[in-house]
Amino acid sequence: MSEPLPLVFESPRRGQPPRHWADLTPTQRRELVEAAGHRAYRARQLSAHYFEGLRTDPGEWTDLPETVRASLAASFMPDLLREVRTQTADHGDTVKTLWRLYDNALVESVLMRYPDRVTMCVSSQAGCGMACPFCATGQGGLQRNLSTAEIVEQVVDGSRRLRHGDIDGHRVSNVVFMGMGEPMANYKAVIGAVRQLVTPTPDGLGMSARGITVSTVGLVPRMQQLATEGIPVTLALSLHAADDELRDELVPINTRWNVDEVVNAAWEYARQTKRRVSIEYALIRDVNDQAFRADLLAKVLKRRGNWGWVHVNLIPLNPTPGSRWTASRRRDEAEFVRRLRDKGVPVTVRDTRGREIDGACGQLAATDR
Ligand code: SAH
């Protein structure tokens, strides 16, 4: 006989965030709702409130009897993210929020509104263990992995802000795992969150996988695994240098999986998923922005063929406190772009949204001050 299901969750479970509706599969939700003594269809009602209505306040679940509301909320909707501070920039189109988690760990998320889309940049870990020397998050080390629901809640909060804002009806269309943390080092929770995002409503947020980008330093086995999930998210590889000597310094995990191996894994991802991979390259003045490095980058990428498998995203370095590095000169940046274009490599330069509120790429450090 199988183990009976627990009637209530111990909340919080020791050493882990309390379990939340967004951690569960639709089947688990039904089973747990029934095991807690409710009718199975309550699960569907609760999902509709959470994923469609973005309503976590049981006072708003007016189609449920009050006693049922309280019990379901206590079991399944713990408060995972407590807002510490919100800052805005770009005339309100960029919104950065600092969150305190159940164990006082701090993370940030950034909501960016564009004319044609809304992008939510989420954190997958508190801190990061990858120690890239130019990235603010990398300087403090890893505190812990986030749970699936702690990631999903960042997106739900963004959607709720839009709904309550002036552009009613708009939803988050894009999610990028480019906040704090290395998503491929927290694979299980990240793929769990991706599933909650792409599952059609009311069981999930009903987003398109095409709108989701997972950015990685290049953990090759995880990149390979991601290609087998059947969810064609966009993969972004943080390359930053096309030779091992420099990349060993800029992205220390390169000593484990080198340029050749990570570019192969990216190419393989594109081949298997038919999704164009994005190569991230932060332009750092006089470090990795010389013309010969643009040529080398083009060579390394084109070696894998020229069938549109790749796109280069140049990020002007956002200077971080204490770093000796800064962004490239404009003419060096322009020359870098020109050399890639000349060789037929598609390239764009990333905008630096939220820079003045330390909300741009690589600036998230989540301090309470
Ligand atoms: N760990 C993941 C997600 C990190 S943030 C990764 O490394 O891909 C997303 C992107 O911002 C990465 O490409 C990262 O290298 C880049 N980045 C980090 N610090 C930066 C900085 N100071 N300026 C510009 N880009 C930066």
- Among candidate residues 108, 153, 182, 280, the one labeled active-site is 108
- Please tell me the distance between residue 135's alpha carbon and the centre of ligand 1 in angstroms: 6
Identify whether residues 72 and 151 lie together within a single domain.
no
Where does the pLDDT of residue 8 fall: very low under 50, low under 70, confident under 90, or very high at 90 and above? Answer: very low
Rounded CA-CA distance 332/289 in Å is 7
The answer, yes or no, to whether residue 151 has pLDDT greater than 60, is yes
Where does the pLDDT of residue 179 fall: very low under 50, low under 70, confident under 90, or very high at 90 and above? Answer: very high
Least confident of 67-76, 222-231, 353-362: 353-362
* Active site annotation includes 60: no
Identify whether residues 209 and 121 lie together within a single domain.
yes
Question: Of all protein residues, whose CA lies closest to atom 13 belonging to ligand 1?
Answer: 238
Cis peptide bond N-terminal to 115, omega within 30: no
Identify whether residues 214 and 302 lie together within a single domain.
yes
Identify whether residues 59 and 207 lie together within a single domain.
no
pTM, whole model, 2 decimals?
0.94
Question: Do 177 and 215 meet the contact criterion of CB atoms below 8 Å apart?
Answer: yes
Residue 160 lies in a domain: yes
Mean local confidence (pLDDT), 177-188: 98
Of all atoms in ligand 1, which is nearest to the CA of residue 362? 19
Question: Do 111 and 120 meet the contact criterion of CB atoms below 8 Å apart?
Answer: yes
Domain count for the chain: 2
Where does the pLDDT of residue 7 fall: very low under 50, low under 70, confident under 90, or very high at 90 and above? Answer: very low
Per-residue pLDDT tens digits for 107-144: 999 999 998 899 999 999 999 999 999 999 999 999 99
- Please tell me the distance between residue 178's alpha carbon and the centre of ligand 1 in angstroms: 7
Mean local confidence (pLDDT), 154-182: 87
Of all atoms in ligand 1, which is nearest to the CA of residue 179? 5
Rounded CA-CA distance 136/127 in Å is 9
pLDDT at 353: 82
Mean local confidence (pLDDT), 323-327: 92
The better pLDDT of the pair 274, 1 is held by 274
- Please tell me the distance between residue 242's alpha carbon and the centre of ligand 1 in angstroms: 16
Q: How far is CA 108 from CA 32, 121, 122, 187, in A?
A: 31, 9, 7, 19
Rounded CA-CA distance 151/147 in Å is 7
Identify whether residues 218 and 318 lie together within a single domain.
yes
- Among candidate residues 121, 132, 135, 361, the one labeled active-site is 361
Mean local confidence (pLDDT), 160-176: 79
- Please tell me the distance between residue 350's alpha carbon and the centre of ligand 1 in angstroms: 12
Residue 325 lies in a domain: yes
Which residues contact ligand 1 via a Cβ below 6 A?
A: 130, 132, 134-135, 178, 182, 215-217, 238, 280, 282, 315, 317-318, 320, 361-362
The CATH number linked to 40 is 1.10.150.530
The answer, yes or no, to whether residue 84 has pLDDT greater than 80, is yes
Burial category of 55 from C-beta neighbours within 10 Å (exposed 0-12, middle 13-18, buried 19 and up): middle
Of all atoms in ligand 1, which is nearest to the CA of residue 215? 8
What is the residue whose two structure tokens read 């390239």?
347
Per-residue pLDDT tens digits for 203-216: 999 999 999 999 99
Identify whether residues 192 and 56 lie together within a single domain.
no
What are the strands, taking DSSP E only, across the chain? 82-89, 94-100, 106-113, 118-121, 125-127, 142-145, 174-177, 212-216, 234-238, 277-283, 310-316, 347-349
Where does the pLDDT of residue 3 fall: very low under 50, low under 70, confident under 90, or very high at 90 and above? Answer: very low
Rounded CA-CA distance 266/272 in Å is 10
The answer, yes or no, to whether residue 166 has pLDDT greater than 60, is no
Of all atoms in ligand 1, which is nearest to the CA of residue 134? 22
Containing structural domain, residue 248: 82-368
Question: Of all protein residues, whose CA lies closest to atom 17 belonging to ligand 1?
Answer: 362
Question: Do 107 and 101 meet the contact criterion of CB atoms below 8 Å apart?
Answer: yes
* Active site annotation includes 132: no
- Please tell me the distance between residue 149's alpha carbon and the centre of ligand 1 in angstroms: 23
Per-residue pLDDT tens digits for 257-268: 999 999 999 999
pLDDT at 78: 96
CB contact burial 68-88 (16+ within 10 A = b; e otherwise) = bbebbbebbbbebbeeeeebe
CA 113 to chain centre: 16
Q: How far is CA 36 from CA 8, 200, 233, in A?
A: 7, 25, 35
The answer, yes or no, to whether residue 11 has pLDDT greater than 50, is no
Residue 148 lies in a domain: yes
Where does the pLDDT of residue 14 fall: very low under 50, low under 70, confident under 90, or very high at 90 and above? Answer: low
Residue 1 lies in a domain: no
The CATH number linked to 122 is 3.20.20.70
Identify whether residues 51 and 141 lie together within a single domain.
no
CA atoms within 13 A on the CB side of 235: 36
pLDDT at 354: 84
Question: Of all protein residues, whose CA lies closest to atom 12 belonging to ligand 1?
Answer: 238
Query: What is the overall mean pLDDT for the chain?
Result: 92
Residue 15 lies in a domain: no
The answer, yes or no, to whether residue 12 has pLDDT greater than 50, is no
Start-to-end CA distance of the chain, whole Å, equals 54
The better pLDDT of the pair 365, 261 is held by 261
